[in-house]
A and B are shown apart, each in its own frame.
Chain A
Amino acid sequence: MKILVALKQVPDTETKIKVAADGRSLDGGDVKWITSPYDEYALEEALRLKETAAAEVTAVSVGGDKAKDILRNALALGADQAVLVKSAETGDPLAVARTLAAFAEGKGFDLILLGNKGFGGDNASVGPMLAELLGVAQANVVTKLELAEGRFKAEREGDADSEVLEGSLPAVVTAQRGLNEPRYANLKGIMAAKKKTIEEVDAAPVAPAVTTVTLALPPSRPEGRKLEGDAAAQAAALLGLLRDEAKVL
């Protein structure tokens, strides 16, 4: 079985966001870059399938040179090979999906795993777009995955319930928290990864379907009010304010 795992490099959540001088992109200066946390579940699932079902795991990332860090990490964790598809960050999910589809096409992957959304952009769309472009089944926001001969069964998170779906392989599956517990790289893995090469290919240019016109910091919330007194007094004051001032009751 051949598995592709697509990984995205994103700013760590704790990062303070600064807007670059162009007014429409992130100032990457002080940013700490990490593997998008949902992608870690995707990679872990692939590694488990490698151990239990003798799968061969390819990690891929669409991005710039610094994305090699997360690919190196994927190798340290146990991915068999890693590929960087060099492309400028556009913030356009369709462009990324097209680039990934062009890479995956004809390579015979049985399963393509991704995080259900990339931290930061939060579009949650590269997975389903990739599935459509490749003409294969999809299962998104998956918390449980079982594979059988040419088929899969997945549990996905709904709005309030979960759904069990069944489909045919090849398929694109996007991972949700709960699918597994990602492992950490050990020293042996890190040393071995240093010896492996990260293949680099250039992405064919794709016309953007969406462009970011502005990136701005949100308006700050006005200073709030602290309520005084004992619990009963605070409760009475709060309900009065919610009713008469905020008018939400």
Chain B
Amino acid sequence: MILVFCETKDGKIRKPSLEALSEARKLADAAGKGLGALFVGATSAGAEEAAQYGADVIVKIEDPSLAAYSSDGYAQAIADAVKAKGATALLAAATSCGRDVAPRAAARLGAGYASDITGLAMEEGRLLVTRPVYAGKALATTRFETPVQVATTRPNVFSLAPCAKAGTVETLPAPGGGFLAVVKEILTKGAGHVDIAEADVIVAGGRGMKDGANFKLLEELAEALGGVVGASRAAVDAGWGLPHSMQIGQTGKVVSPTLYIACGISGAIQHVAGMSGSKVIVAINKDPEAPIFKLATYGIVGDLFEVVPELTKAARALAK
């Protein structure tokens, strides 16, 4: 069996988890295996949706002690489920939670682990994964040598593939509390607190924006295109009041949107590391020699303060 650790938010499965489920379904079909969706928490409201994305079994580990997230508590629950179901592969989305708990669960299981993968196959019952390394300057293909295998999937890379299955519900016992570290509080920062890693359209601004207040222009364009705003490190570091959660790049978020519009961003390698997986890249820069143009599907050489408002106008007209 292939097991997918699913995260829920507001009573629904998070999109990156649905992507992992969709991909796992394909893998399970190819390998003739069953697919289980695993839910851990005080409740698993929303878990039933997993059947729409191909889960044969919905495995629930519910307990009040799991209401607040705990790396060690959740890793224990996940490892218990893998053992109880005899699963050979465990997938999770490479979200903040997935990246925190999956490697710990892997160590608990003595399992090989690969993080943030962008390609997934199975060969003779073993996972074969592809992942960008060295700031996206190379792609590594990794083979697993252990009977149990754990990997996290990069958000927005694997497409959603609805596929209704039985979704029989099964409950497993919870680890029982007494965890070593537990989340006590969630601090909300940043505008609208969206996770840019999940966004389909990103309008990003760099040092060329000159000031944080000018990001209003990008917000308007993003809104017209149904997207969100991101930033380069130079913009985040400039003291314009932009939160680090907006930063895209090697020391920020890795994003894979359908459309990435870089405004006043030069395209330094560390920035490119975070956005080179975008499907379509638009660069708006007044320097025709800016490295970002080497990457851009469409390049606009021009002053962003003239181009961006025109784009917003045109996008609004298109939306009507």
Which chain B residues numbered 262 to 320 have a C-beta less than 8 Å away from chain A? 269-270, 273, 276, 279-283, 288, 293-303, 306-307, 310-311, 313-315, 318
Stretch in A47-55, A60-68, A161-169, A184-192 touching the partner: A161-169
Shortest CB-to-CB span from B248 to chain A, Å, is: 13
Distance in Å from the Cβ of B219 to the closest Cβ of chain A?
Answer: 16
Report the Cα distance A25→B211, complex, angstroms.
43
Chain B residues touching A, range: 35 or more
Interface pair B96/A242, CB less than 8 Å apart: no
Given contacts A158-B96, A160-B190, A210-B142, contact A125 B136 (CB under 8 A): no
Whether B244 pairs with A157 at a CB distance below 8 angstroms is yes
**Is residue B122 contacting chain A, with contact meaning CB distance below 8 A?**
no
Tell which of A1-9, A77-85, A106-114, A211-219 binds the partner. Answer: A211-219
- Given A131-B104, A165-B181, A243 and B187 contact (CB-CB distance below 8 Å): no
B180 CB–A CB distance under 8 Å: yes
Closest to A139 in B: B181
Contact of A125 (CB < 8 Å), options: B115, B250, B273? B115
Q: Is B96 a contact of A209 with CB atoms below 8 Å? A: no
B107 pairs with A128, CB closer than 8 A: yes
Judging by beta carbons under 8 Å apart, are B183 and A164 in contact? Answer: yes
Q: Is the CB of B245 within 8 A of A122?
A: no
Q: Which chain B positions have C-beta within 8 A of A225?
A: 297-299
Which residues of B (32-75) have their CB < 8 Å from a CB of A?
A: 69, 71-72, 75
Residues of B within 8 A of A203 (CB): none
Task: Tell me, yes or no, whether A140 is within 8 Å of chain B by CB.
Answer: yes
CB-based contact A214/B181 at 8 Å:
no
In angstroms, Cα B244 to Cα A208, docked, is 35
Binds A, one of B19-27, B80-88, B126-134, B164-172: B126-134
Residues of chain B in range 187-202 having any CB-CB distance to chain A below 8 Å: 187-190, 193-198, 201
The listed residue with most B CB atoms (<10 A of its CB), out of A16, A121, A242, A246, is: A242
Inside 8 A of A119's CB, which chain B residues have their CB?
135, 250
Partner of B311, one of A91, A177, A221, A238: A238
Q: A171 and B193: CB pair below 8 A?
A: no
Known A120-B134, A171-B181; contact A207-B307, beta-carbon cutoff 8 A: no
Please give, as numbers and ranges, the residues of chain A lying within 8 Å of B128 by CB-CB distance: 213
Are B113 and A210 in contact (CB-based, < 8 A)? yes
| CB nearest to A173 among chain B residues | B181
What DSSP secondary structure best describes chain A's contact surface?
mixed
Shortest distance between the CB of A26 and any CB in chain B (Å): 7
B280 to A248, Cβ gap below 8 A? yes
B106 at the interface (CB under 8 A from A): yes
Q: Does B18 count as interface, using CB distance less than 8 angstroms?
A: no
**What 1/0 mask marks residues of chain A from 194 to 215 whose CB sits below 8 Å from any chain B CB?**
0000000000000111111111
Q: Are A122 and B145 in contact (CB under 8 A)?
A: no
B216 within 8 A of A: no
Query: Please, which residues of chain A bring their CB within 8 A of the CB of B105?
Result: 132
Q: Which residue of B lies closest to A177 (CB)?
A: B251
Q: Are B307 and A231 in contact (CB under 8 A)?
A: yes
* Whole-angstrom CA separation of A93 from B134 in the bound complex: 15
Q: Is the CB of B99 within 8 A of A140?
A: yes
Note all chain B residues with C-beta closer than 8 A to A155: 187
Q: A226 contacts B181, CB within 8 Å?
A: no
Residues of B within 8 A of A214 (CB): 140-141
Q: Mark A238-249, 1 if CB is under 8 A from B, else 0.
A: 110111001011
**Is there contact, CB below 8 Å, between B145 and A159?**
no
Q: Which residues on A sit within 8 Å (CB–CB) of B201?
A: 248
Residue pair A162, B143 in contact (C-beta under 8 Å)? no
Residue of B nearest to A19 (CB): B138
Q: Does B220 contact A (CB under 8 A)?
A: no
The answer to whether A234 and B307 have CB atoms under 8 Å apart is yes
Q: How far is the CA of A176 from the CA of B37 in the complex (A)?
A: 31
List of B residues within 8 angstroms of A129 by Cβ: 103-104, 106-107, 113
Q: Mark A218-232, 1 if CB is under 8 A from B, else 0.
A: 100110111100011
Residue in contact with B181 in the complex, picked from A14, A120, A159, A168, CB distance below 8 Å: A168
Q: Is B314's CB under 8 angstroms from A236's CB?
A: yes
Cβ contact within 8 Å between A94 and B106: yes
Q: Which residue of chain A is the closest to B100 with respect to CB atoms?
A: A140
State whether B96 touches A141 (Cβ < 8 A).
yes
How distant is the Cα of A59 from the Cα of B200 in the complex, in angstroms? Answer: 42
Closest B residue to A152 by beta carbon equals B181
Q: How far is the CA of A126 from the CA of B318 in the complex (A)?
A: 48
A56 an interface residue at 8 Å Cβ cutoff?
A: no
A160 and B193 contacting across the interface, CB-CB below 8 Å: yes
B contact residues vs A (CB 8 Å cutoff)? 69, 71-72, 75, 95-97, 99-108, 110-116, 128, 131-146, 180-190, 193-198, 201, 225, 244-245, 250-251, 258-259, 269-270, 273, 276, 279-283, 288, 293-303, 306-307, 310-311, 313-315, 318
Chosen A-B contacts, 9 in total, with CB atoms closer than 8 Å, are: A93-B113, A123-B115, A125-B115, A159-B95, A159-B96, A211-B145, A217-B138, A224-B296, A234-B310
Q: Which 3 A-B pairs have the closest CB atoms?
A: A167-B181, A209-B112, A125-B103
Residues of A participating in the B interface, judged by any CB pair closer than 8 Å: 11, 13-17, 19, 26, 37-38, 91-94, 97, 119-133, 136-141, 143, 152, 155-168, 171, 177-178, 207-218, 221-222, 224-227, 231-232, 234-236, 238-239, 241-243, 246, 248-249
